[in-house]
Amino acid sequence: MSIFEAKHLSLHYLTRFGSKVHAAVDISFELEEGEILGIAGESGCGKTTLVSGLSGMCIPPLNYTSGEIFVSGQPLIGRPLEDIRENVLAKEISMIPQGAYNALNPTRKIKDLAMDVLKSHEKGKANKKEMYQRIHNRFELLGLDTDKVLNSYSVQLTPGEKQRSVIGISTLLNPKMVIADEPTSALDVTTQKQVIGVIFDLLEKKVFSTMIFITHELPLLRHVADRIAVMYAGEIVEMGTSEQLVFSPKHPYTQALMSAMLSAEEGARKRKPEAIEGAPPNLAEEIVGCRFAPRCKHATDGCKKNKQEIRIVDNRQVRCENAK
Amino acid sequence: MPNKNVIFEAKDLVKEFGHGKTHNVVLKGLNFEIEDGEIVTIVGGSACGKSVVAKHLLGFMQPTKGELFYKGKKITNQRDHWQTVQPIFQDPFSAFNQFFSIRSQLEDSFKVLYKRPSRAEIKERVDAALLAVNVMPSDLKEKFPFELSGGQMQRMLLARIFALKPQVLIADEATSMVDACVRANILDYLMKLKKELNMTIVFITHDIGLAYYVSDRIFVMHDGGIVEHGTPDEVALHPKSNHTIQLLEDIPDIHKDWIKRKRA
């Protein structure tokens, strides 16, 4: 049985002017236990919206339009927020938010923040000393100077320590699945490597088993994820194994993402990274045909008119009628 | 050399913060020269002092010891300095005021200049700048900073530069929050602008791939000092310092091994 499943999930924002912005459309995927799914896409394509939707924290102006989510077989949509907060978040699904420094309250010590998670989820079960011991044991897995970190405020820590503390706090209750929303985008490459190392350690020690890893860096996903889904303007345009997507992308957008990469290797200075002309479509308006067609080099009259559906090409899902 | 036109010159730049227990030497005697029309990249891990260098170049900070010259003079008046030197910052959300619409803030950024263009010209220049960063001006009507995503906000900061057209640009981690396609777009336009105005650009980044692509010279910083400098080919392909080698190794390159996940 799959541990997490999204079926034709669509989400929209209600704007101040009463119009709907369809930020995520027709998202379907399944996650098996032990799998890491990477989601890549440009800024504003709906990655962070999708995270809020998947974890059940749909707070207005964000609303569910249609579709279903199953967490270990249980439906998630339609349950009251209090129920989701108490029984799903941190226990079944946990989140590592974007920008760790904004996620930690600067007026409280790290140990108090960690204690809050245990207190609110396990009322009256354990005493303070036991709780502290549990937190201490967990933080030791993160490769941190545990006593120092637990007794300091978030402003006293380096970015890497902060990010690792956030990972420690959000996985305290051994969730089944973790959704990591750009956990390393604000870190430098050396710290990024350490943080990914910590995440892999936790996976190996079975603290959690399944992960959705969201980032805008495809090369990073090549090393982290088993499968990659590429999003464009709220839709998943291509989904396959990481080798398939990185080395032989089929959708024109994935191809463009790969050719825009910069690397420090011989000859890279002469190769110009390819920019895509134009801007993503306005999601508040109704879109006819393929969403990428106006910026696509290989667009035909057919795909400008027809709405694109997921097709299976070369053992992967592609949302393009011309992909071979 | 005779026809060398030095814009920034640092001599034994030292910056210290705090007293007593919290005393911390952040810059440990930097010496560098940045020439007119050059693209220089300062690369380094976090907490190596690269942002402090940027703040000195912008006149936000004065060095504790040593001297920093801009066109042969010390930076004394910040407003004078900002007529020709403009920044792009790392975090766009703290760079914009949340209470005013983005459009009005972009137009207001002309207020820093002593010699302001006419209202109609300001409008025109803002429109052109927005188009340059792939945003339709009509999409931005009366939008506030909190209504945009992180990458879109970063592009707004760039639009500000494209409208103001400064002589020197200090870009502190300007593209670390945007994805590869947008980054390629932004670099494309920056290069165009650079050619048009003969702008000097100082990039500050931890991405050595970006540094290799854009710059004429690379400085590698570690722990408050410059450990290596040279042309991109020298630094990125034949690194001598251990810190540079470490930086290059940590990049998740698709063709090389990085960290492997151990499966139980």
How do the domains of chain A map onto residue ranges?
Answer: 1-83+226-262+273-324, 90-214
- For residue B258, the domain's CATH number is 3.40.50.300
What does the block give as tokens for B201?
Answer: 């650009």
Q: How many CA atoms lie within 13 A of A224 on its CB side?
A: 34
Q: Which residues pair with B220 in a beta bridge?
A: B43, B228
For residue B42, how far is the Cα from the chain centroid? 9
pLDDT at residue number B1 = 45
Please tell me if residue B179 touches chain A, with a CB cutoff of 8 Å.
yes
Residue A288: how many CB atoms within 10 A of its CB? 11
Which amino acid, B198?
Answer: N
For residue B49, how far is the Cα from the chain centroid? 14
Residue A151 to residue A56: CA distance in whole angstroms: 32
Task: Tell me which residue of B250, B207, B235, B225 sits closest to B43, measured CA to CA.
Answer: B207
Write the secondary structure of B28-49 as one string of H (helix), E (strand) and C (coil).
EEEEEEEECCCEEEEECCCCCC
Distances (CA, A) of B39 to A245, B61, B151, B210, B231: 34, 22, 23, 12, 11
- Does residue B213 sit within a domain? yes
Yes or no: say if B173 and B157 are a contact pair by the CB < 8 Å rule: no
Q: Say yes or no to pLDDT of B3 above 60.
A: no
- Does residue B216 sit within a domain? yes
Q: Say yes or no to pLDDT of B2 above 70.
A: no
What does the block give as tokens for A148?
Answer: 């120092």
Distances (CA, A) of A14 to A54, A80, B93: 18, 20, 22
B92-103: per-residue pLDDT in tens?
A: 778 888 899 999
Q: Which among B154, B210, B254 is the nearest to A222, CB-wise? A: B254
Mutation target to probe the B interface, by most B beta carbons within 10 A, among A189, A196, A208, A255 is A189
Residue whose token pair is 């030197």? B85
For residue A44, how far is the Cα from the chain centroid? 13
Task: Tell me which residue of A203, A202, A196 sits closest to A221, measured CA to CA.
Answer: A196
Nearest CA in chain B to A245: B254
Check for a shared fold between A1-83+226-262+273-324 and A90-214: yes
Please tell me if residue A190 touches chain B, with a CB cutoff of 8 Å.
yes
Residue B254 to residue A120: CA distance in whole angstroms: 42
Domain that holds residue B35: 1-75+201-264
Chain B residues closer than 8 Å to A42 by CB: 151, 178-179, 181-182
pLDDT at residue number B264 = 58
Yes or no: say if B251 and A188 are a contact pair by the CB < 8 Å rule: no
For residue A250, how far is the Cα from the chain centroid? 22
A304-315: per-residue pLDDT in tens?
A: 888 888 889 888
B188-219: per-residue pLDDT in tens?
A: 878 878 887 788 999 998 888 888 888 899 99
Residue whose token pair is 């911390």? B24
Residue A144 to residue B154: CA distance in whole angstroms: 32
**Beta pairing class for B6-17 and B65-70:** antiparallel
B residues 96..135 contacting A (CB < 8 A): 134-135
pLDDT at residue number A30 = 92
Yes or no: say if B65 and B14 are a contact pair by the CB < 8 Å rule: yes
- Does residue B107 sit within a domain? no
Which amino acid, A124?
Answer: G
- Does residue B116 sit within a domain? no
**CATH number of this structure's domain A90-214, picked from the four choices 3.40.50.300, 3.40.470.10, 3.30.9.10, 3.40.50.1470:** 3.40.50.300
Is the bond preceding residue A61 a cis peptide, omega within 30 degrees? yes
Q: Do B237 and A43 touch (CB under 8 A)?
A: no
Residue A39: how many CB atoms within 10 A of its CB? 29
Q: How many CA atoms lie within 13 A of B117 on its CB side?
A: 15
Distances (CA, A) of A121 to A93, A124, A210: 13, 9, 21
Nearest CA in chain B to A34: B263
The residues, any chain, with a CB within 8 Å of residue A186's CB and separated by 6 or more, are A99, A100, A101, A159, B176, B177
Query: Residue B185 — very low, low, confident or very high, per pLDDT cuts 50/70/90?
Result: confident
Q: Say yes or no to pLDDT of B14 above 90.
A: yes
pLDDT at residue number A324 = 80
Question: pLDDT below 70 — which residues of chain A?
Answer: 101
B127-160: per-residue pLDDT in tens?
A: 988 887 778 888 887 888 888 876 678 778 888 8
Please tell me if residue B157 touches chain A, with a CB cutoff of 8 Å.
no
Give the residue-averaged pLDDT of B62-81.
91
- Does residue B96 sit within a domain? no
Q: Which among B136, B178, B258 is the nearest to A43, CB-wise? A: B178
Please tell me if residue B216 touches chain A, with a CB cutoff of 8 Å.
no
Please tell me if residue B12 touches chain A, with a CB cutoff of 8 Å.
no
Please tell me if residue B256 touches chain A, with a CB cutoff of 8 Å.
no
Residue B82 to residue A10: CA distance in whole angstroms: 47
3-state secondary structure of B119: helix
Q: What angle do CA B256, B258, B262 make, to 5 degrees?
A: 130
**Beta pairing class for A210-215 and A36-41:** parallel
Q: Which among A216, A223, A266 is the nearest to B252, CB-wise? A: A223
Q: How many domains does chain B have?
A: 1
Q: How large is the ipTM?
A: 0.77
Q: Which among A44, A191, A246 is the nearest to B254, CB-wise? A: A246
Residue B223: left (phi > 0), alpha (psi -120 to 50), or beta? left
- Does residue B7 sit within a domain? yes
Residue B198 to residue B218: CA distance in whole angstroms: 19
* φ, ψ for residue A37, nearest 5 deg: -100, 125
Q: How many residues does chain A have?
A: 324
What does the block give as tokens for A178?
Answer: 């973790």
Cα of A311 to nearest chain B Cα, Å: 25
How many contacts, defined by CB atoms under 8 Å, are there between A and B?
150
Q: Say yes or no to pLDDT of B83 above 70.
A: yes
Residue B51 to residue B73: CA distance in whole angstroms: 22
- Does residue B111 sit within a domain? no
- Domain A1-83+226-262+273-324: give its CATH architecture: 3-Layer(aba) Sandwich (3.40)
Residue A110: how many CB atoms within 10 A of its CB? 27
Please tell me if residue B237 touches chain A, with a CB cutoff of 8 Å.
yes
Residue B111 to residue A247: CA distance in whole angstroms: 49
